[in-house]
């Protein structure tokens, strides 16, 4: 396990690379890259689909009504936005909020894999159908998967993957909101289970390999890991 301060510095380097990225057509239409925000040493990560108009304008993920609901649900389990990491599969907004194209996903996925590797989350909550299908590598939909955790390898790291309904889907549908709220209540229990065993060697995304136990946690640093908000690098 890499020192938290070193991982944070490396994460800043990935952000600088993403900010100048021209790997796909979205570089020509974005206002700015929405890399992600939160705690660089978070145990809990949320992954959505792609930035919307407000996110593209401000450079931060989940800043609209869906973000406010996410913050409210975090508060209900004794957490807060600054304690977790929030990002999207795509770091640039698709024009008109259209669905991401396969080549855009392929061009962008390394950034997400680096985030998972460097932040070292214990639990990743996928928000909605798109992020869930992509990180699972399977077409099964969120209505069948929500609230059920499983161990998956994302990039080089094994994590506990926990699909949730997207907060945007719950804003105006009380039944969906109640399901999302109920699923959220399991998050502290899943975090308490600790990280799953880690791969012996570098895997392909989504492939389950022979695993070895996670190393013992390092002692806490003298100063807590700082929140890694864009604009504070």
The Cα 25–Cα 114 span in angstroms is 21
pTM of the model: 0.86
Q: What is the pLDDT of residue 200?
A: 81
Give the C-alpha separation, 147 to 222, whole Å.
Answer: 36
Spatial contact of 108 and 24, defined as CB atoms under 8 Å apart: yes
Q: What is the pLDDT of residue 201?
A: 62
What per-residue confidence (pLDDT) applies to 12? 94
The CATH homologous superfamily to which domain 4-197 belongs is: Uracil-DNA glycosylase-like domain (3.40.470.10)
Helices of type H across 23-173: 53-58, 65-76, 102-119, 129-136, 142-145, 167-170
Lookup result for tokens 């890694």 = 228
Q: Tell me, what's the pLDDT at 1? A: 47
CB 187 within 8 A of CB 125: yes
23 within 8 A of 211, measured Cβ to Cβ: no
Structural domain boundaries of the chain?
Answer: 4-197
| Residue 4 pLDDT | 84
Asked whether the beta carbons of 177 and 72 are under 8 A apart, the reply is no
Q: Which residues of the chain register pLDDT less than 50? A: 1, 203-233
Q: Which residues of 136-165 are buried (b: 16+ CB within 10 A; e: fewer)?
A: beeeeebeebbbebeebbbbbbbbbbbbbb
Q: Confirm if 46 and 116 have CB atoms less than 8 A apart.
A: no
Q: Beta strand pairing status for 150-154 and 85-88?
A: unpaired
DSSP run (H or E) holding 19? helix 4-19
- Do 21 and 91 form a contact (C-beta atoms < 8 A)? yes
- In angstroms, the CA 45 to CA 112 distance is 11
For the stretch 46-84, pLDDT in tens is 999 999 999 999 999 999 999 999 999 999 999 999 999
pLDDT of res. 2: 57
């Amino acid at each position: 396990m890499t020192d938290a301060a070193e991982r944070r510095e490396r994460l800043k380097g990935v952000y600088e690379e993403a900010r100048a990225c021209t790997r796909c057509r979205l570089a020509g239409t974005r206002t700015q890259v929405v890399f992600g925000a939160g705690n660089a040493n978070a145990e809990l990560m949320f992954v959505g689909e792609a930035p919307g108009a407000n996110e593209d304008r401000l450079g931060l993920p989940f800043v609209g009504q869906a973000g406010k609901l996410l913050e409210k649900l975090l508060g209900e389990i004794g957490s807060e936005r600054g304690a977790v990491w929030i990002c999207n599969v795509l770091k640039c907004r698709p024009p008109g909020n259209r669905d991401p194209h396969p080549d855009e996903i392929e061009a962008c996925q390394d950034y997400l894999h680096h985030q998972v590797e460097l932040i070292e989350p214990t639990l990743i909550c996928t928000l909605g159908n798109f992020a869930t299908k992509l990180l699972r590598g399977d077409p099964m939909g969120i209505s069948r998967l929500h609230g059920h955790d499983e161990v998956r390898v994302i990039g080089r790291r094994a994590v506990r993957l926990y699909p949730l309904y997207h907060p945007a889907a719950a804003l105006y549908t009380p039944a969906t909101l109640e399901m999302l709220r109920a699923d959220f209540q399991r998050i502290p229990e899943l975090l308490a289970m600790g990280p799953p065993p880690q791969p012996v060697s570098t895997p392909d995304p989504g492939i389950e390999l022979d695993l070895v136990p996670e190393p013992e946690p390092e002692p806490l640093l003298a100063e807590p890991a700082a929140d890694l908000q864009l604009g504070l690098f």
